[in-house]
Amino acid sequence: MKRIGVVGIVISKKDGAPVIEMQRILSDFADIIIGRMGVPRERLNAIALIVEGEQERLSALTGRLGRLESVSVKSALTSAEVE
């Protein structure tokens, strides 16, 4: 069953490499991202994703993002299941 949740991403602006790789990862998981909001800042970028998918797929997304240098990720999933 699918669940709905929120993924928060904070990116330190050291160079553009983490941002480019993050965009590739988000494209790979576009099927579970139902909403996205970004807030650019001088030293940090913040992105909030609304996601809907199976637990394994959501974990894969956050795991890949969390392995990127200069990227911090936190997620919160609801206990409600959707069809």
Q: What is the pLDDT of residues 29-65, one digit of tens each?
A: 999 999 999 998 888 889 999 999 999 999 999 999 9
The beta strand positions in 1-83, using DSSP E, are 2-12, 33-40, 44-54, 71-82
d(CA 39, CA 24): 19
The domain locations on the chain are 2-82
- CATH code for 2-82? 3.30.70.1150
Q: What is the pLDDT of residue 42?
A: 83
What predicted TM-score, i.e. pTM, was given to this entire model? 0.89
Q: Which of 13, 21, 14 is nearest to 39 (CA)?
A: 13
